[in-house]
Chain A
Amino acid sequence: MLKIDARKKLAEFEWRGRLEIRPGLTALFGQSGAGKTSLVNMVAGLLTPDEGEIAIGGTCVFSSRKDVNLSPERRPVGVVFQDGRLFPHLSVGGNLRYGRPRGSRSAPTLEEVIELLELEALLGRRPMSLSGGEQQRVAIGRALLTAPDVLLLDEPLSGLDGERRGEVLGFLERLKRDSDRIIVYVTHRMEEVVRLADRLVLIDRGEVRSSGGLQDLLGRPELQAVIGQRTAGALLRCRIEQIDDGDGLSRLSCSGHTILLPRLDLKSGSEGVPPAPRAGRPRSQDADIVLQVRAGDVSLSLEPPRRSSVLNVMEGTVERVVQEDGALADVVVNVGQTLWARVTRRSVRELGLSPGVAVYATIKAASLYSAD
Chain B
Amino acid sequence: MTPVWEIAALSLKVSLWAVACSLPVGIACAWVLARCRFPGKILLDGLVHLPLVTPPVVVGYLLLIVLGRNGWLGRLFHDWFGVTFTFTWKGAAVAAAVMAFPLMVRAIRLGIESVDRRLEEAARTLGATPARALFTVTLPLAAPGLLSGALLAFARCLGEFGATITFVSNVPGQTRTLPLAIYTLLQTPEGETAAAWLAGVSLALAIAALAASELAARAVRRRLN
Contact indicator B122/A73 (Cβ below 8 Å): no
- Contact B224 A146, beta carbon cutoff 8 Å: no
Q: Which residues of B contact A142 (CB under 8 A)?
A: 126
**A72:B119 contact, CB within 8 angstroms:** no
- Tell me the minimal C-beta distance from A194 to chain B in angstroms: 28
Residues of A132-150 contacting chain B, CB below 8 A: 142-143, 146
B121 and A46 contact, CB distance less than 8 A = yes
In the assembled complex, the Cα of A268 lies from the Cα of B64 at a distance in Å of 82
State the interface size on chain A (CB cutoff 8 A).
25
Complex CA gap A235/B126 in Å reads: 37
Interface bits B123-151 vs A (CB < 8 Å: 1, else 0): 11111111000001100110000000000
**B118 within 8 A of partner (CB):** yes
A88 and B137 alpha carbons, distance in the complex (Å): 9
Considering the complex, which residues of chain A in the window 67-82 have a beta carbon less than 8 Å from any beta carbon of chain B?
A: 71-73, 77-79, 81
Main SS class of interface, B: helix
Partner of B225 from the list A81, A99, A128, A146 (CB cut-off 8 Å) is A128
B126 and A100 form a contact (CB under 8 A): yes
Interface residue? A98 (CB, 8 A): yes
Is B37 an interface residue, CB under 8 A from the partner?
A: no
Distance in angstroms from B216 CB to nearest chain A CB is 16
* Cα(A73)–Cα(B225), bound, Å: 28
> A126 to B124, Cβ gap below 8 A?
no
The answer on a CB contact under 8 Å between A146 and B121 is: no
Q: How far is the CA of A79 from the CA of B128 in the complex (A)?
A: 13
B225 cross-chain contacts in A, Cβ below 8 A: 88, 126, 128
Does A89 make an interface contact (CB < 8 A)?
yes
Does the CB pair A77–B224 fall under 8 Å?
Answer: no
Tell me the bound Cα distance from A112 to B121 in angstroms. 26
Cβ of B35 < 8 Å from any Cβ of A?
no
Q: Does residue A93 face the partner (Cβ distance < 8 Å to B)? A: no
Name the distance in Å between A371's Cβ and chain B's nearest Cβ: 30
- In the bound complex, do residue B124 and residue A73 qualify as a contact, i.e. CB atoms below 8 Å apart? yes
Q: Which residues on B sit within 8 Å (CB–CB) of A44?
A: 125
Residues of B within 8 A of A46 (CB): 121, 124-125
* B118 lies within 8 A of A100 (CB): no
For the complex, what is the distance from the CA of A102 to the CA of B119, rounded to whole Å? 20
- Across the interface, A72 reaches (CB within 8 A) one of B116, B125, B137, B140, namely B125
**Cα separation A339 to B125 with both chains bound (whole Å):** 42
Q: Mark B97-130, 1 if CB is under 8 A from A, else 0.
A: 0000000000000000000101101111111111
Assess A71 versus B124: contact at CB under 8 Å? Given A89-B140, A98-B136, A128-B225: yes
- Interface check A233, CB cutoff 8 A: no
A139: nearest chain-B partner, CB-CB: B122
Interface residue? A101 (CB, 8 A): yes
Determine whether A45 belongs to the interface, using a CB cutoff of 8 Å to chain B: yes
Say yes or no: is A105 at the interface (Cβ < 8 Å to chain B). no
A87 proximal to B (CB < 8 A): yes
CB-CB nearest in chain A for B129: A73
A125 on the B face (CB < 8 A): no
Is A85 an interface position by the 8 A CB rule?
Answer: yes
Chain B residues closer than 8 Å to A77, beta-carbon distance: 125
Q: A46-B121, A72-B121, A81-B118 are known contacts. Are A88 and B126 too (CB-CB below 8 A)?
A: no
| CA of A221 to CA of B224, assembled, Å | 51
**Which of B119, B128, B140 touches A73 (beta carbons < 8 Å)?**
B128
Known: A98-B136, A128-B225. A85 touches B119 (CB 8 A): yes
Contacts of A87 in B (CB 8 A): 119, 122-123, 137, 141
Give residues 200-225 of B contacting A (CB, 8 Å).
223-225
Return the CB mask of A204-218 against B: 1 if under 8 Å, else 0: 000000000000000
> Is there an interface contact between B127 and A102, defined as CB atoms closer than 8 Å?
yes
Cα A329 to Cα B77 in complex, Å, equals 85
- Say whether A98 contacts B126, CB under 8 Å: yes
- Minimum CB–CB distance from B167 to chain A (whole Å) comes to 40
Docked-complex contact A88 and B127, CB < 8 angstroms: no
How distant is A36 from chain B, measured CB to nearest CB, in Å?
17
Partner of B126, one of A89, A128, A143: A143
Q: Which residue of A lies closest to B141 (CB)?
A: A89
Chain A residues with CB under 8 Å of B122's CB are: 79, 81, 85, 87
26 A–B contacts, CB within 8 A, in A order: A45-B124, A46-B121, A46-B124, A72-B121, A72-B125, A73-B125, A73-B126, A81-B118, A81-B122, A85-B118, A87-B119, A87-B123, A87-B137, A88-B224, A88-B225, A89-B140, A98-B123, A98-B126, A98-B128, A100-B127, A101-B127, A102-B127, A143-B125, A143-B126, A146-B126, A146-B127
Which B residues form the contact surface with A (CB < 8 A)? 116, 118-119, 121-130, 136-137, 140-141, 223-225
- Which residues in A have some Cβ–Cβ distance to B below 8 Å? 44-46, 71-73, 77-79, 81, 83, 85, 87-89, 98-102, 126, 128, 142-143, 146
Given A73-B127, A101-B127, 6 other A-B residues pairs in contact with their CB atoms under 8 A: A72-B125, A73-B126, A81-B118, A85-B121, A87-B119, A128-B225
